[in-house]
Amino acid sequence: MRVGSTWQGEGAANVTFTFNGQRVTGRAGDTVASALLANDIRLVGRSFKYHRPRGILTAGSEEPNALVTVGNGPDRMPNIRATVQEIYEGLEVISQNHLGPLHRDLMAVNDLLHPFLGAGFYYKTFMWPRSFWERVYEPLIRRAAGLGALSGEAGGAPSEKAFAFCDVLVIGAGITGIMAALTAAEAGADVILAEDAMVAGGQTGPQDGQIGELGAAAWAQVWLDHLKSLPNVRIMLRTAVTGVYDDGSYGALERTGLHLAPDPDLPRETFWRIRARQAVLATGALERPIAFPANDRPGVMMTSAIATYAERFGVAPGRRIGFFVTNDHAHRTITALAGQQGFSRLTVIDPRPDAVVQGDYRLIAGAEVVGTRGRLGLSEVTIRRNGTEQRLDLDCLGVSGGWNPAVHLTCHLGARPVWDDARAMFVPAPAAVPGLHPAGSCNGTLSVAGCLREGHEAALRALAALGRKPRKIALPPASDDPGRGRALWAVAAAGRAWLDFANDVTTKDVKQAAAEGFASVEHMKRYTTQGMAPDQGKSSNIGALAILADATGRGIADTGTTTFRPPFVPVTLKAMGAGAEGKGFAPERFTTSHDASVARGAPLIEAGLWYRPSYFPAPGETTWQQACGREVAMVRNAVGIVDVSTLGKIEIMGRDAGAFLDFLYTNTFSTLPVGRVRYGLMLREDGHVMDDGTSARLGQDHFVMTTTTAAAGQVMAHMDFAAQALCPDLDVRFLSVTEQWAQFSIAGPLARTLLNGVLDAPIDDTAFPFMGCGTVRVHGIAARLFRISFSGERAYEIAVPARNGAALYRDLVARAEVLGGGAYGMEALNVLRLEKGFITHAEIHGRVTAFDIGMQGMLSAKKDFIGKAAAARPGLLAPARERLVGLKPIEAGGVLTAGARLFNQDDPHVARHDQGYVTSVGSSPTLGHMIALAFLRHGPDREGHEIMMVDALRGIRTKVEVVSPVFFDPEGGRARG
């Protein structure tokens, strides 16, 4: 019920929304949870397995029970926590996980069957008969899985992605975070203060007493107003930092428009990538439940949640309120509530015999709660004291078993929290995340003075790491007493005591898992589904592992915790993939020469996401084959220009850059002299070819790798994995610079003549021999020059900053036309490489090895590299494998097609007689007939043999001769000059 004003003030406007079609009136600033409680609506959903009635447990993002669906149509969002969703006029809210009305859920029959549905029942039940799995069991399980559902409609309000940079990121805007942000900001650091809630200040309230001359909440507001006035501070409310990643990278989810009516121009959520040089973790602590029989009824809540609803929203969650607590901090909270409107005649049950009353409330010391009543909402509590049971008439019970520091973000890079037996809590491991400094309650410090002190000290450490001198800030006086407490995980009494409210995991389930051999905390988690609900066990994991520790006879420290992984709060796929719709999903990538190519009438073809010219038609040409033949002849006899900017370009730097390339490539790069280029082959871990390309050494610790267009992203991901997981000790950094450089190939006998016309200083073969590289200047612009060839002719690739690409391309083409050449496209490029037997991803398609393409000699025996062991497996070196060959038709005019199959002449054309397949074909004007690359069983051993090429789809059968894959200039004299 409503007992006071909301945090917006007395004049807060009324807001109407619907819950399951029922009109509900709240006040501006309410969450769905606070508005429902203000209207005495306690039943908000059903649990996952047993469909038991569920109410509101918390007031924050850790809520396991109150998951609802909001909105409609394409803006419908399931599994939203009612405790963080703010209301707005016209909001539609629907409860989840029930069949029929919420109050009469037909699936509640599952609760009657609970003796048969204990931990791991699905592993034991769905085994027999085997034939039932696909037809009966799996469909039923899939239908039962999940909670809320999407509408299935496309579109809706957008989400957004954004990037931010700062010196110090402060995560959490309670008193600890405010002090840290103030200390860093006063030293001149750029500060981002991120807070998950819609208001800053944390859980400060009357229970926290005085800070200096002000109450804790007033002190927080004063300094928040000061921080807002500073130009170097950005306060981000409704923003949860969801994950910690390498090198000071943090993910954060901002609820940008979820508290407002849907607007097509306003993103619902924004997913931030934040790079922070240093960070302070001030995420506080989560109040710990106590497991006792029937502790899951609507009306059983956390004590801190009751205080938040009272102080922030002016709501009392019940009319007859009691508390079951084990610590002095909870007593201080209750003392602050006692006597307020709606909180008279409070009863406190404390299992500690020496508990002391601290305010105007009734204390029953040395007692425990052993049961509750009320199917759809709490109506009665049974307590036990000195062996005698007593019933209390309560409709709301606040629970507090102590506090669990929110250490999750300190574990995202692999660290495990450390058990502190004296404080009965897990605290962050020392230096768990480089550059992240835990402080305050998340560090296990529960006193107000301690939180202020640790926030200040954490900021000082961050400033020292940044080399900044802090300004002297006097810490205000405050209470330094954390209060006494007792760890009580579960009450020994008959009945089901709930740990994970969302997934219906009880203390019995955990004990059963241990008894059946699932004694590892990770095994117990999967056997019982403990902590696998949307809340990730924030309120239940520690209690569950304490029960497991007791069941296995181990200490909590030896039992350990489950693995905490990102995201800390649920993140929608739409937010994480913001912008990846339409062209955002498959953007059109254009080269700097795009406009010039279009102006010349070149048809464009897709190469990955890039658009490249297919050919450049000339007057009088009526087919693409005519243009292609002319362009090939132009390169063979004069000079041609082609834009190769789409090739992946990766800068690699560091003391161990050469060693890193040695590990990536099958051949050696650490011995490559500066100013030289080397061709390399890259394998996957399974020994198959992933990509080929070149790497140029521009300096002792500086390489530039070139990948194929198709595999640029794959190679970059492969390098990231290798650097982080396989050789993290190497001093190496790399970055994709594909977009930063425009690169053009100048190929043909007159290539050097043309090139010297644009270089500030002419070159010769001494300065730039075949496979040489270096820096040059083009019309006064710094450029890179590589003498490499994909055409078999003398060729150079020149790279300039992308902003100069369009101008240079036009200049090169104009000069080439004067010399009898010009621009050529992808069709001619393909024919030129086929004539030389150069492979592309048509050949290295993922199922071939270095042996298959005739490059087994590039597998170094002197060093290790990725895929080396797998590539040496006998099955990958068998002579009968399909290996690379060339094909040419026996008869003049014979047609070859890519994808056709190969057969011995006398064999039937059926699968069991298949001998191989064709990968690439082209019509060679140089040779006067079609040519192809193919993979053939015993390939190189069959050169000179005649076989049949069969394209059953097109009805083409051509007799072909097996030849070397290198059709033109096998000695390579033309390219070497």
pLDDT digits (tens, 9 = 90+) for 653-676: 999 999 999 999 999 999 999 999
- Find the CATH number of the domain harbouring 945: 2.40.30.110
- The lowest-confidence range among 556-565, 694-703, 785-794 is 556-565
pLDDT at site 207:
65
In a domain, 138, yes or no: no
Question: Could you write out the three-class secondary structure of 369-426?
Answer: EEEEECCCCCCEEEEEECCEEEEECCCEEEEECCEEECCHHHHCCCCCCEEECCCCEE
For residues 783, 789, 791, 797, the Cα torsion angle rounded to the nearest 10 degrees is 0
pLDDT value for 851: 97
Q: What is the pLDDT of residue 206?
A: 65
Percent of the chain with pLDDT over 90: 85
Same domain, residue pair 669 and 771: yes
Mean pLDDT over 801-816 rounds to 98
Res. 215: pLDDT tops 90: no
Structure confidence at residue 204 as a pLDDT band (50, 70, 90): low
Q: Are 176 and 207 part of one and the same domain?
A: yes
Mean pLDDT of 952-967: 97
How confident is residue 451, by pLDDT bands cut at 50, 70 and 90?
very high
Q: For the chain, what is the domain count?
A: 6
Of 352, 367, 400, at which residue does a domain stop?
400
Residues 438 and 362 in one domain: no
Q: What is the pLDDT of residue 814?
A: 98
pLDDT at residue 801 above 90? yes
Confidence at 499, pLDDT banded by 50, 70, 90: very high
The pLDDT tens digits of the residues spanning 366-395 come to 999 999 999 899 999 999 999 999 999 999
Q: Does a structural domain hold residue 394?
A: yes
Q: Mean pLDDT check: name the lowest of 575-589, 693-707, 834-848.
A: 575-589
Mean pLDDT of 200-219: 81
User: For the ranges 527-531, 689-693, 892-896, which has the lowest average pLDDT?
Assistant: 527-531
Give the pLDDT band (50/70/90) at residue 350: very high
Element spanning 573, H or E: helix 573-576
Question: What CATH number is attached to the domain comprising 248?
Answer: 3.50.50.60
Domain boundary at 370, 400, 430, which?
400
Residue 691's CATH number: 3.30.1360.120
Mean pLDDT of the chain: 94
pLDDT at position 9 is: 52
Query: Where does the pLDDT of residue 810 fall: very low under 50, low under 70, confident under 90, or very high at 90 and above?
Result: very high
pLDDT at 10 over 60: no
- Show the domain range for 103: 14-121
Between these two residues, 207 and 806, which has the higher pLDDT value? 806
Return d(Cα 192, Cα 941) in angstroms, integer.
67
Decide which of 572, 596, 615 is a domain's last residue: 572
The count of other CB atoms within 10 Å of the CB of residue 471 is: 12
Residues 738 and 650 in one domain: yes
Q: What is the pLDDT of residue 7?
A: 55
Q: What is the pLDDT of residue 873?
A: 96
886 and 944 in a common domain: yes
The predicted structure's pLDDT at residue 647 = 96
Instruction: Give the pLDDT mean for 720-743.
Output: 97
> Does 765 or 149 have the greater pLDDT score?
765
pLDDT in the model for residue 716: 97
- Residue 167 CA to residue 171 CA, distance in Å, equals 13
922 and 845 in a common domain: yes
If asked whether residues 282 and 326 sit together in one domain, one would say no
pLDDT of residue 533: 85
- Report the percent of the chain where pLDDT is more than 70: 99
Q: What is the pLDDT of residue 201?
A: 86
Query: Stretch 23-47: mean pLDDT, rounded?
Result: 96
Q: Give the Cα separation of 442 and 170 in Å (integer).
A: 13
Instruction: Write the DSSP string, 72-83.
Output: -GGG-EEEEETT
Phi-psi region of 675 (alpha: psi -120 to 50; beta: other; left: phi over 0): left
pLDDT, position 923: 96
570-579 mean pLDDT: 91
With 70 as the cut, is the pLDDT of residue 3 above it? Answer: yes
Tell me: do 317 and 221 sit in the same domain: no
**340-344: Cβ within 8 A, 24+ apart:** 340/3, 340/4, 340/310, 341/3, 341/4, 341/316, 342/1, 342/3, 342/310, 342/316, 343/3, 343/310, 343/316
pLDDT-derived band at 364, boundaries 50, 70, 90: very high
> How many of the other CB atoms lie within 10 Å of CB of 228?
12
Domain match, 773 and 755 both? yes
Closest CA to 356 of 374, 338, 332, 372: 332
At position 745, the amino acid (one-letter code) is S
Task: Quick: pLDDT tens for 276-310.
Answer: 999 999 999 999 999 999 999 999 999 999 999 99
Any residues with CB less than 8 A from the CB of 431 and at least 6 apart, and which? none
Instruction: Read off the CATH number of the domain in which 57 is found.
Output: 3.10.20.440
Residue 323 lies in a domain: yes
Residue-wise pLDDT tens digits, 783-797: 999 999 999 999 999
366 with 385: CB under 8 angstroms?
yes
Q: Which of 5-9, 53-57, 193-197, 928-932 has the lowest mean pLDDT?
A: 5-9
**Residue 552 — very low, low, confident or very high, per pLDDT cuts 50/70/90?**
very high
**Do 665 and 813 belong together in one domain?**
yes
- Token pair belonging to 661: 């390339």
Whether 682 is in a domain gets the answer: yes
Output the pLDDT for position 115: 81
Residue 110 sits in the same domain as residue 180 = no
Cα maximum dimension of the chain: 106
Can you tell me the mean pLDDT for 630-656?
Answer: 97
Say if 549 falls within a structural domain. Answer: yes
In 492-561, at which residue ranges do the beta strands (DSSP E only) sit?
A: 498-500, 505-506
Sign of CA dihedral 316, 321, 322, 324: negative
Are the C-beta atoms of residues 255 and 267 closer than 8 Å to each other? no
Confidence of residue 455 (pLDDT cuts 50, 70, 90): very high
Per the domain annotation, does 500 fall within a domain? Answer: yes
What integer is the mean pLDDT of 426-453?
96
Asked whether residue 148 is assigned to any structural domain, the reply reads no
pLDDT of residue 135: 78
Do residues 436 and 530 share a domain? no
- Residues 6 or more apart whose CB falls under 8 angstroms from that of 246 comprise 413, 724
pLDDT of 28 reads 93
In a domain, 343, yes or no: yes
CA dihedral 922, 928, 929, 932 (to 10 degrees): -40
pLDDT at position 71 is 92
